[in-house]
Amino acid sequence: MAAAAGGVGEAVETEDPGALQPGAAPFGNFPHYSRFHPPEQRLCLLPPELLRQLFPPEGAERRPILGLDVGCNTGDLSVALYKHFLPLHDGETCLGASRELRLLCCDIDPVLVERAEKECPFPDALTFITLDIMDQRNRKVPLSSFLSQFGRSVFDIVFCMSVTMWIHLNHGDHGLWEFLAHLSSLCQYLLVEPQPWKCYRAAARRLRKLGLHHFDHFRSLTIRGDMASQIVRILTQDHAMELVRCFGNTSWDRSLLLFRAKHTMETHPTPEPPTERQKGTD
Ligand SMILES: C[S@@+](CC[C@H](N)C(=O)[O-])C[C@H]1O[C@@H](n2cnc3c(N)ncnc32)[C@H](O)[C@@H]1O
């Protein structure tokens, strides 16, 4: 199968995916997604020094940069993001010697997550978990237990790449709104690659033909049209974020939008809970 050259690649997410099992991917959980929408197409728009610029090391600060990759699929983009932001320059990492990058990568599909874990070349830096990010009851513990290992309560950056349409189609307008609210509450910076509206129609049509009714929301969606603008509107007007940069469009006509939280809950690491010994001395 040819890699994503414009419409051919887009067909995977929208029309009949050919050799892939049609209908087997109601969440966009295509088993070979990165073959059709390769990470490089997105990464070439992102400056490798971006994280160093957003999170410059302050003094003797040694805390790692923490990222969350939502909807990581088989981890190809997660690994590529990690490598992209850590290019070696004269033996030094681009982030500077003092800052590591640690990524928590989650996906709703356990089979994809298992593959991601098996194939990950950086198991110390990337952690993969199966998680439905829309599951309000069960999402808090895995996210906060990752953060608390570092004494933190929010991520420095969340990556949400080619996921918004699947959330929107499966959970409706309110689901998309709540998803964006949740992500914005979790981080200082949020990088979003929204799928354009033209993908929605085709994805819904394909799944309807296959008798999958998960996508019944499609007809009732009122958030529609220019999805990049809609997402900018929701995040900036409703969820206290500001648009910092638009990194331009991929060959699939998808923009990469970087947002910053206007008020972050955390500018410093949360203090560690007192140890038993410290408690005794208080
Ligand atoms: C189209 S793929 C994008 C993969 C990757 N982010 C990329 O851009 O290459 C969308 C991914 O989002 C995942 N996904 C959809 N709904 C999800 C949810 N509620 N929670 C977690 N992951 C979800 C799917 O399983 C799928 O792997």
Residue 167 has pLDDT above 90, yes or no: yes
Contacts of 91-96 with C-beta under 8 Å, sequence gap 24+, read 94/48, 94/49, 94/52, 95/51, 95/52, 95/65, 96/52, 96/56, 96/57
- 46 is a domain residue: no
Helix, strand, coil shares of the chain, percent, nearest 5, are 40, 20, 40
In angstroms, rounded to a whole number, what is the distance separating the alpha carbons of residues 56 and 211? 51
- Give tens-digit pLDDT for 263-281: 765 544 433 333 333 333 3
User: Pick the residue with more confidence: 35 or 107?
Assistant: 107
- 160 is a domain residue: yes
In angstroms, rounded to a whole number, what is the distance separating the alpha carbons of residues 231 and 257? 9
DSSP letters, 120-176, are -S-TTTEEEEE--TT-TTTSHHHHHHHHHTTT-SSEEEEEEES-HHHHHHHHHHHHH
- Give tens-digit pLDDT for 71-88: 999 999 999 999 999 854
- 7 is a domain residue: no
- Give tens-digit pLDDT for 215-255: 678 889 999 999 999 999 999 999 999 999 999 876 667 89
Ligand 1 atom closest to residue 27's alpha carbon, by position in its atom list:
15
Query: Which residues span the domain enclosing 204?
Result: 64-281
- Protein residue with least CA distance to atom 15, ligand 1: 27
pLDDT at 13 (0 to 100): 56
Share of the chain above pLDDT 70, in %: 76
pLDDT at 5 (0 to 100): 31
pLDDT at 158 (0 to 100): 98
Query: Phi-psi bin for 95: left (phi > 0), alpha (psi -120 to 50), beta?
Result: alpha
Beta partners for 101?
65
- Give tens-digit pLDDT for 39-74: 999 999 999 999 989 998 776 667 899 999 999 999
Answer yes or no: is the C-beta of 133 below 6 A from any ligand 1 atom.
yes
- 208 is a domain residue: yes
Answer yes or no: is the C-beta of 132 below 6 A from any ligand 1 atom.
yes
- 140 is a domain residue: yes
Triad 110, 112, 117: Cα angle to 5°? 90
- Give tens-digit pLDDT for 101-147: 999 999 999 999 999 999 999 999 999 999 999 999 999 999 999 99
Question: For the chain, how many structural domains are there in total?
Answer: 1
- 49 is a domain residue: no
- Protein residue with least CA distance to atom 17, ligand 1: 108
- 12 is a domain residue: no
Q: What CATH number is associated with residue 158? A: 3.40.50.150
Question: Residue 210 phi/psi, 5° resolution?
Answer: -85, 0
